[in-house]
Structure 1
Amino acid sequence: MPRLFADPLDASARLGACACGQDHAGLACDAPPPADGTGAHGEAAEQAVFRAVFPDDATRRGLLTRFGAAAVAGALASVFPLGAAREAMAQATGTPEKKDLKIGFIPITCATPIIMAHPMGFYQRHGLNVEVIRTAGWAVIRDKSIAREYDAAHMLSPMPLAMSLGVGVAAPIPWAVAAIENTNGQAITLANRHKDRRDPKDWKGFRFAVPFDFSMHNYLLRHYLAEHGIDPDKDVQIRSVPPPEMVANLRADNIDGFLGPDPFNQRAVFDGVGFIHVLTKELWDGHPCCAFAVPRSMISETPNTFGALLRAIVEATAHAAKPENRKEVATAISAQNYLNQPETVVAQVLTGTFADGLGAVQRVPNRIGFDPFPWQSMAIWILTQMRRWGQVKTELDYAQVAAQVFLALDAGRAMREMGLAVPASATRGETIMGRSFDPANPAGWADRAIRGA
């Protein structure tokens, strides 16, 4: 498979290295960054210099093809103080180059850290003046991000993968997952008329909504249906519907159900039009949903801004993760200019004590979780589903793409600065609907038959 990015000097080419500069997977390593500035920021300095010296894309490609990345880097180093540039980039903890920022978000609880960081002062604490902008849908988020109307964005975690691969867009656009916004926090909600049709094998002919084609919701729903013998492309209809419109479509009988984000699962119960069939944490406990996404160019163009923004998001995420803070957070994000939802609905989601629409009150403290670490194994599973369902037509180097897009080293560095525990590796095994997923052996998940194997 060709590399995602044209420049082999891109920082992502060596994301497998530890932040200490050693070639190992020790993301939890406590060693300070090396003095020579190697690591993600140092490599970003190399690519910035390379683009500055050779601004023409064709010239850069020609040089790399003819001489190779190592030779070109050596030549640049002989005439330009790359060591100093790397060190400056690695020490990118100074005053943000750009303080006034715009971040787009969709009004769902998955965006909690991005939203709450505004009224609760986390952005200001890190020297930033951030405007969070409520946006109508995921396609709008993507398009405004590509146009750089947004400096960063709340995105579904598969979106930066798709954008970087050039899937669903005109050409590959390097975006990255700097942090995971939330884990779990989704559900399959059905219309009340289907209370006696809880077996998915009986769902042929159903019309489902998901937020976007490139979403965990789409992939989890497809996987859930397939595991029950339902072909998601032939036996049911799956359409993209913006989350704020899901409950209205359920009420109007335009859909039979949706796999969507909260608070809209709970809002369907609150409004008396639907019930929660299953929480997605029961399908894959700890699965990712949304992400804090940035253009990869931000790392090299405004490294201080990137660092401050990531620290603000990580700090807000850590605050939201604590159960004792959930009611306060619910109050902060329920307001009209954020989620615009009844605080009772949002609190039920965040605290995990909720009515399920079937006459019971459930107590599931981790109904939604907040862990900023972008596990690359999550990205690998997402890529297998893109391949399985025909969104990606060619073979992939799953690990390489995951490392380029899910910025585990950067997130780990920010987490350490906040005093948070950092995993020792960027990958882990997962259990999805009772089956083990090994990120080192993903091909079987991409090639599985509809009924599973």
Structure 2
Amino acid sequence: MSEELTIGFLPLVDACLPILAHEHGFAEEEGLSLRFVRDVSWATVLDRLLYGHTDAAHLVAPLAIATTLGRGRPAQPLSAPFALGLNGNAISFRSKLAARLLTPGELGDPVILGTALKQEVARLAGEGRRLRFGVVHRYSSHNYKLRYWLAGCGIAPDRDVDIVTVAPPFVCDALKSGEIDGACVGEPWNSVAVDRGVGNIVLATAQIWLRGVEKVMAMREPVMEDRRPAVEALIRAMRKAGAHFIDPANWEENAAILARPEYVDQDARLILGAISDRLVLTQGAAPVHYADFMFQHSEAANFPWVSQAEWLYTQMVRWEGMDYSVEEATRAARVFRPDVYRTALKGTDDPLPGANSKVEGSVANPLQVTTQQGNITLAANTFFDGRSFDPERAQEYLASLP
């Protein structure tokens, strides 16, 4: 008899791995039956997880850390033994703003676009106005990457521009109404905004941090420990789903599955664009290919690097004006569970890194790394400003940031 796991998710393309593990029978091969609960906001996904309505959740990675540290609610320890992918988000501006700052139909250069945006912010300040940007949650990689880019270009978040929370399915409506001037959100919602003529895609978040962490499979720590065999089976099933997902022969089939009403409930054509790394940036334009816009499988993409959790904690400290705490940093790091990932895949054909942590942003050219099993060559993982993050020197890193 199969063991059931209930998984909460938002209608986003990067919820694909557990969904496809179910739809293609990979979960069943591992003795699992998966049931899904679809929500519209990360807050509700988290509530269902914490109150036991779901066993696991597709979750923005910083929210798992914030929940563990007790930010905004009583602390409950969460564990993330699997990264659902890297990259995959984009920044979209209202069409008129985008047209003022860059050539429509082209992705901007982060530095050049940032410089132009800074000038626009100054112009609007002279008229007593400020731009407002939407992010999907206060504790999201979207928020931190948008802020990282703005600050790196000389624009002070919360002082020069406003940043507000908008749930992903409502970003298009917020752009259309003028409630926000731009947003950082996952697919397909950037492409939906373009398709409706209310926004243009101007940057991929991979241009801000290439190979940056996005969503994780999160669960309450006691549940993960109690149901460890089922969790490890889920990891194996999702790895199989990832290999299927990245095969071009399967793109159209998987886009059709994800487009169904019970999952993303959007046009399969738009979902296919994200899967194939071919995005229409402005209404009516030809698709633009941006390699590895989504990154779901290769180079140990699903490995929960502890150093990525530690980088997210530094951004939490940075933008909340907190003091850096070694004890909190340690708790934040423990949310990511490479030990569980390793146990699940030991003895399989899946490659496993030899370390649990690395210097983020330090790889500019392909680098073969030491492994526990198999072979792994990491491609570039740079930040747009050329900085790197050494978790052993986190406080020095924080002190160096603008």
Match of 1:351 in 2: 276
2:349 matched to 1:432? no
Match of 1:443 in 2: 395
Match of 1:165 in 2: 69
SS in 2 for 1:266: helix
Distance 2:321 2:276 in 1: 36
Match of 1:215 in 2: 140
Query: What are the Cα deviations for residues 273-326 of structure 1, in whole angstroms up to 9, with x where unaligned?
Result: 211111111111111111111111123322222222222223223332334433
Structure 1 pair 122/226, CA: closer, same or farther in 2 (3 Å)? same
Q: Output aligned runs, 1:283-302, within 5 Å.
A: 283-302=208-227
Match of 2:336 in 1: 406
Match of 1:54 in 2: none
| Greater displacement, 231-240 / 208-217 | 231-240
> Runs of 5+ in structure 1 lacking a partner?
1-94
2:293 corresponds to which letter in structure 1? R
Structure 1 pair 261/282, CA: closer, same or farther in 2 (3 Å)? same
SS in 1 for 2:358: coil
SS in 1 for 2:90: strand
Q: Output aligned runs, 1:6-405, within 5 Å.
A: 99-169=3-73, 171-194=74-97, 195-198=99-102, 199-204=116-121, 205-357=130-282, 359-370=285-296, 371-390=301-320, 392-393=322-323, 395-397=325-327, 400-405=330-335
Q: How far apart are 1:255 and its partner, in Å?
A: 0.8
Structure 1 pair 296/236, CA: closer, same or farther in 2 (3 Å)? same
Q: How far apart are 1:328 and its partner, in Å?
A: 2.5
Q: How far apart are 1:357 and its partner, in Å?
A: 1.1
Please report the RMSD computed on the Cα atoms of aligned residues, expressed in angstroms: 1.9
Query: What are the Cα deviations for residues 189-239 of structure 1, in whole angstroms up to 9, with x where unaligned?
Result: 001111113422135311110000000000001111101111101111111
Q: How far apart are 1:398 and its partner, in Å?
A: 6.7
SS in 2 for 1:420: coil
Q: Name which of 353, 371, 392 aligns with 1:423.
A: 353
Q: How far apart are 1:360 and its partner, in Å?
A: 4.8
SS in 2 for 1:143: helix
Give yes or no for contact 1:385–1:445 (8 Å, CA) kept in 2: no
SS in 2 for 1:435: coil
Structure 1 pair 264/327, CA: closer, same or farther in 2 (3 Å)? same
Q: Percent of pairs identical after alignment?
A: 30
1:373 corresponds to which letter in structure 2? F
1:376 corresponds to which letter in structure 2? V
Structure 1 pair 172/427, CA: closer, same or farther in 2 (3 Å)? same
Distance 2:238 2:222 in 1: 19
Structure 1 pair 121/202, CA: closer, same or farther in 2 (3 Å)? farther
Pick the structure with greater CA Rg: 1
Distance 2:20 2:347 in 1: 20
Give yes or no for contact 2:232–2:343 (8 Å, CA) kept in 1: no
Normalising by structure 2, report the TM-score: 0.83
Give yes or no for contact 1:135–1:141 (8 Å, CA) kept in 2: yes
Matched residue count: 353
Distance 2:18 2:251 in 1: 15
| Greater displacement, 148-157 / 385-394 | 385-394
> Runs of 5+ in structure 2 lacking a partner?
103-115, 122-129, 362-381
Give yes or no for contact 1:103–1:154 (8 Å, CA) kept in 2: yes
Q: How far apart are 1:389 and its partner, in Å?
A: 0.7
SS in 2 for 1:114: helix
Q: How far apart are 1:267 and its partner, in Å?
A: 1.3
Give yes or no for contact 1:388–1:445 (8 Å, CA) kept in 2: no
SS in 1 for 2:22: coil
Distance 1:403 1:184 in 2: 20
Match of 2:376 in 1: none
Give yes or no for contact 1:388–1:448 (8 Å, CA) kept in 2: no
Distance 2:167 2:347 in 1: 36
SS in 2 for 1:178: strand
Distance 1:392 1:334 in 2: 41
Give yes or no for contact 2:69–2:328 (8 Å, CA) kept in 1: no
Distance 1:318 1:176 in 2: 24
Give yes or no for contact 1:101–1:129 (8 Å, CA) kept in 2: yes
Structure 1 pair 322/271, CA: closer, same or farther in 2 (3 Å)? same
Distance 2:293 2:393 in 1: 29
SS in 1 for 2:320: coil
Distance 1:200 1:398 in 2: 35
Query: What are the Cα deviations for residues 92-119 of structure 1, in whole angstroms up to 9, with x where unaligned?
Result: xxx87xx222111000012111222222
Structure 1 pair 153/407, CA: closer, same or farther in 2 (3 Å)? same
